[in-house]
């Protein structure tokens, strides 16, 4: 068994695709409209879905916003250098909600950013 993807609902599909591709460096792997259901699915990730987990962005054509709720925590992405990654994200207009630094009660370097729909993404420094 393996984890295939995580689905999140987004209000403006292209804005979200732009964020994940241009700010976080993912690739748009595939996208398909479902006119009868009035929704579009877009899958993004850092490599082929046969080998890597993806994010599924679901855009319901008649819904522009969603409540975040209290059950969902965050997505986590490993990066080579958290300080450099947050600087690049900030330069591209991304929202940093916790600057890079050691995690509370630990030494792992982390940071948090928000995507255009308010989903939190944790950046975690690569372990040697």
The residues annotated as belonging to the active site are 122
Alpha-helical runs (H) found in the chain: 13-18, 82-91
Using alpha carbons only, give the angle 67, 68, 70 rounded to the nearest 5 degrees: 120
Residues paired with residue 28 on neighbouring β-strands, in sequence order: 44
Residue with tokens 């068994």: 1
Residues paired with residue 122 on neighbouring β-strands, in sequence order: 76, 112
Alpha-helical runs (H) found in 9-107: 13-18, 82-91
CB-based contacts of 48: which residues, under 8 Å, 6+ apart?
A: 29
């Amino acid at each position: 068994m393996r984890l295939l993807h995580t689905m999140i609902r987004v209000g403006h599909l292209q804005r979200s695709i732009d964020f994940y591709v241009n700010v976080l460096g993912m690739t748009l792997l595939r996208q398909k409209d479902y006119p009868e259901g009035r929704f579009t699915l877009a899958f993004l990730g850092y490599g082929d879905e046969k080998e890597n987990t993806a994010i599924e962005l679901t855009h319901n054509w008649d819904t522009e916003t969603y409540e975040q709720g209290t059950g969902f925590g965050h997505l986590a992405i490993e990066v080579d250098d958290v300080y450099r990654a947050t600087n690049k994200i900030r330069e591209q207009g991304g929202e940093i909600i916790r600057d890079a630094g050691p995690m509370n009660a630990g030494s792992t370097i982390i940071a948090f950013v928000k995507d255009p729909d308010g989903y939190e993404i944790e950046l975690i420094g690569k372990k040697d």
